[in-house]
Amino acid sequence: METTTFNIYSMDTAKKAAMFDKIADMFYKQNFGTTSKSEVELLMFSIFMDEMIETYADKTTNVLNYNACSDYNIGKMLGIPQEKVRTLKIKKQARYPQQFDWRKSFMSLRERVVYDDKTKKIIIPVPDPNLYSEIENFISENGGYIEIQRGKNVLQIRPEYYFLLIYMDCNEQDKEKLRKETAKELKKRNEAFDIDSVKTPNDWKKCITEIAANGIGSLAEICSVSGHPLWCILKMAATAAQMV
């Protein structure tokens, strides 16, 4: 349970002075009175979020506690709707970005992952809009292997496309292992596929789709040969599906 108490007024004197300098820059550099209300609000929100991130980010992994920094909690503190908090988070990251490892953040959500056997999709609640954007960007950069639907704070991906996407982020050694294991799994299920290793992207798509038709567990078995941390999401989904 989260025991840290957030208080924006608890910043030390040096930090408060630095925050004042940021605000002063908006007014005292030949632009007094010209800064819009929305720009002031965005800067103040950025200061607020930076302090929240420092308070609630894990000191070892630097992964944010998304429950503590939820749109609901922030909205309650500031007296604004959750929708506005979400919009401000996106604008803040664009104007005053905070660097973070989206893969580690994605991994922190692994226990929330479920597999919908009816739609045959991995469903991942993503509580932060900037994390969602990073995941979505990774997917779009690997355009040819995606089928993604966006709901309210929810990421839905077909298992075979998730497999292919994360494969693109593996090192060459793990890629080779996965190609061989994919061929082995496919041949085991259908002797007509007499291949030793999957070679081309089109072959990948055909093979993985064929294997996924037998259930998410088949993909999870192949994933076990890779050391990539994001495979854990697929394994968790497979385990949850078996328990239903």
Three-class SS of 146-172 = CCEEEECCEEEECHHHHHHHHHCCCCH
Is residue 232 a contact partner of residue 107, using CB atoms and an 8 Å limit?
yes
Angle (CA) 212-185-112 rounded to 5° is 45
- In the chain, the percentage of residues whose pLDDT exceeds 70 is 80
| CA–CA separation, 29 and 25 (whole Å) | 6
Cβ(107)–Cβ(229) under 8 Å? yes
SS (H, E, C) 19-67: HHHHHHHHHCCCCCCCCCHHHHHHHHHHHHHHHHHHHHECCCCCCECCC
Q: Which two tokens stand for residue 242?
A: 């078996």
Do 189 and 138 share a structural domain?
yes
- Residue 162 within any structural domain of the chain: yes
Predicted confidence (pLDDT) per residue in 156-168, tens digit: 888 777 777 777 7
Which domain-ending residue is among 98, 133, 148? 98
Examine residue 208 and state whether it is found in any structural domain, yes or no. Answer: yes
Q: Do 157 and 91 lie in a common domain?
A: no
How far is the C-alpha of 114 from the C-alpha of 23, rounded, in Å? Answer: 44
> In this structure, are 164 and 217 located in the same domain?
yes
Question: How many domains is the chain built from?
Answer: 2
Last residue of a domain, one of 63, 98, 133: 98
Chain centroid, CA 37 distance in Å:
31
Are 135 and 239 within one domain?
Answer: yes
Domain stop point among 33, 64, 98: 98
**Domain, as residue range, for 154:** 107-243
Residue that wins the pLDDT comparison between 64 and 199? 64
Same domain? 63 vs 157: no
Q: Which residues of 109-195 form beta strands (DSSP E)? A: 114-116, 121-125, 148-151, 154-157
Decide: helix, strand or coil at residue 116.
strand
71 contacts 82 by C-beta, under 8 angstroms: yes
180 and 233, same domain (yes or no):
yes
Work out the mean pLDDT of the chain and round it to a whole number. Answer: 80
Structure confidence at residue 244 (pLDDT): 54
For 56-70, 80-94, 139-153, 156-170, which range has the lowest pLDDT when averaged over its residues? 139-153
Asked whether residue 46 falls in the same domain as residue 86, the answer is yes
Residue 2 lies in a domain: no
- Mark whether 203 and 161 lie in a shared domain: yes
Q: Are residues 198 and 223 in the same domain?
A: yes
Determine the average pLDDT of the residues in 104-113. 85
> What's the pLDDT at 53?
93
The more confident residue out of 20 and 177 is 20
Inter-residue contact 76 to 117 (CB < 8 Å): no
Task: Judge if 94 and 111 occupy the same domain.
Answer: no
Report the alpha-carbon distance of residue 84 to residue 59 in Å, rounded: 28
Q: Greater confidence, 196 or 238?
A: 238
Q: Is residue 37 part of a domain?
A: yes
Q: Tell me whether residue 7 is in a domain.
A: no
Of 18-22, 45-49, 121-125, least confident by mean pLDDT is: 121-125
Q: How far apart are CA 104 and CA 230, in angstroms?
A: 9
Do the beta carbons of residue 133 and residue 126 sit within 8 Å? no
Q: Quick one: average pLDDT of 92-113?
A: 89
Whole-number Å distance between alpha carbons of 26 and 141: 36
Mean of pLDDT values over 35-44: 92
Cα(138)–Cα(136) distance, rounded to whole angstroms?
Answer: 5
Q: CA 43 to CA 162: how far, in whole Å? A: 37
